[in-house]
Structure 1
Amino acid sequence: MRLALIGGGFVKHTDNFHINKRIVELVEKTNPKVLFIPTASNDNEDYITEFTEIFEKQLECHVNVLRCINNNPSEAEIKKMINSADLIYLGGGNYINMMEKWKEYKINQRLVEALQNDTLIAGISAGAICWFKCGIRTNYEGEGYIESPGWNMINKIFCPHYNQMDRANEFHRLLLQNGNENEHAIALEDNCALYLTNDTYEIIGEPSKAWEFQVIENELLKQKFIERAKTSI
């Protein structure tokens, strides 16, 4: 498993550039092939343009884009695009729409297979939540935030954009409300990423922006994610 989880931020902003630069370095190839999947943003063309300009012009990658909102890619096309990528980057946006569309096109199955085959995958916000047991997202049908299930490739609860106070407070409440002893969770602020392999991790960005949580005897324990050479995730 090689998975880079990004708490949030904008591709074109300076704060996120060093994260994307490090992720490209982790591919360990010259001019790597990057597949961008912007489904959560409704395949927003401005987002695609920003991503392509950064990754092609500044990071020297070859970018391909998998569009499945207005386009109707075949199963063979999707398989070829995912299997040929050195790095797959999952964009942020509407988590529910993303998950529904990926299920429709069986992109979810292909992504899990790619991860299991050691393809490097990066996901920001919605593109990161999907890998966890569950995560907190914006309530698109009302106010506040709500918990949604993921694929449970990481048996923890996840919160992106942890620097947003209202989201952070709701995340704390949900962890305590679940009432599960020894519940574990991870939260990342914007402009911070966590790179995971099967037995190691690396914080990309400021370590003070990465947090871990545990519920013990109905109390929420919070501490900063302390970088080590090796650990079990």
Structure 2
Amino acid sequence: MRLVVIGGGFVKHFDNFHINKRIVELVGKVNPKVLFIPTASNDDEGYIKEFKDTFEKQLSCQVEVLRCINENPNESQIIELFRSSDLMYLGGGNYVNMMKPWKKYKIDHKLEEALNSGTLIAGISAGAICWFKSGIRSNYEGEGYIESSGWQIINKIFCPHYNQRDRAEALHSILLNGNRTEDTIALEDDSALYFTDNTTELIGDPSKSWLLQVKENKLVKQKINA
């Protein structure tokens, strides 16, 4: 497994650029081929341009984009994009809107297969939640935040954008009211963790990555030292 999960932030901002620079280094190739999957943003073209400006012009990558909201890719096109990619980057946005077309096109299964085969995958916010047992996302049908299930590749709860006070408070409430036994990883914007089968690397500001646990009905919070 080679997986980078990012708490949030903008691709072109300095702190997040540092993370993306490290991700490209992890690929281990010159001019790597990157597949950007911006489904959670509804294939937003502004987001795609920002990604290309960063990864092509500044990080010397070759970028392909898999659009499955504004386009209707066939099976062979998706397979070829996956086969030829050195890095897959899953964008942020609406978690529910992301998961529906991924199931339709079987992208969820293809991503898991790619991870198991050793392809480096990075996901930010919604694109990171899917890999965990569950994650904290916005309640798109109302106010506040709720918990949604993921693929359980990492048997922990995940909270992106932990720097947002209302989101952090919602996470704390969910954990304490449920007396949860799972560890929770909470990442602020511009922070990331790189998981392999045996190691974890902290990328970005170490003061922005947190491990939360519920012990004796109390929330225990500590910085991640990886």
Please indicate the TM-score interval, normalised by the length of the shorter structure: over 0.9
Q: CA deviation at 1:183?
A: 2.0
The match for 2:45 is: 45
The match for 1:219 is: 218
Q: Deviation per CA, 1:58-116: give whole Å up to 9, x if none.
A: 00000000000021101111111112110000000000000111001100000000000
Q: TM-score, with normalisation over the residues of structure 1?
A: 0.95
SS in 1 for 2:174: helix
SS in 1 for 2:183: strand
| Residue 112 (str. 1) matches residue 119 (str. 2) | no
Structure 2: gaps (5+ residues): none
Q: CA deviation at 1:163?
A: 0.3
| Residue 144 (str. 1) matches residue 109 (str. 2) | no
Q: CA deviation at 1:13?
A: 1.1
Q: Distance in 1 between matches of 2:217 and 2:74?
A: 48
| Residue 14 (str. 1) matches residue 8 (str. 2) | no
SS in 2 for 1:53: helix
Structure 1 contact 208–224 (Cα < 8 Å) conserved: yes
Q: TM-score, with normalisation over the residues of structure 2?
A: 0.98
The match for 1:125 is: 125
| Residue 27 (str. 1) matches residue 27 (str. 2) | yes
Report which stretch shifted further, 159-168 or 77-86.
Answer: 77-86
The match for 1:156 is: 156
Q: Deviation per CA, 1:39-65: give whole Å up to 9, x if none.
A: 000000010011011100100000000
Aligned partner letter, 2:87: L
The match for 1:203 is: 202
1:49-60 to structure 2, matched below 5 A, reads 49-60=49-60
Structure 2 contact 155–182 (Cα < 8 Å) conserved: no
Q: Distance in 2 between matches of 1:121 and 1:177?
A: 33
Q: Distance in 1 between matches of 2:129 and 2:97?
A: 13
| Residue 183 (str. 1) matches residue 182 (str. 2) | yes
Q: CA deviation at 1:217?
A: 2.2
Structure 1 contact 176–218 (Cα < 8 Å) conserved: yes
Q: CA deviation at 1:179?
A: 2.2
The match for 1:84 is: 84
Q: Distance in 1 between matches of 2:177 and 2:2?
A: 32
Q: Deviation per CA, 1:120-177: give whole Å up to 9, x if none.
A: 0000000000000000001111111011000000000000000000000100111112
SS in 1 for 2:172: helix
Q: Distance in 2 between matches of 1:204 and 1:140?
A: 30
Coordinate RMSD, CA, aligned: 0.8
Q: Distance in 2 between matches of 1:183 and 1:23?
A: 27
Structure 1: gaps (5+ residues): 228-233
The match for 1:64 is: 64
Q: Distance in 2 between matches of 1:175 and 1:76?
A: 43
| Residue 168 (str. 1) matches residue 168 (str. 2) | yes
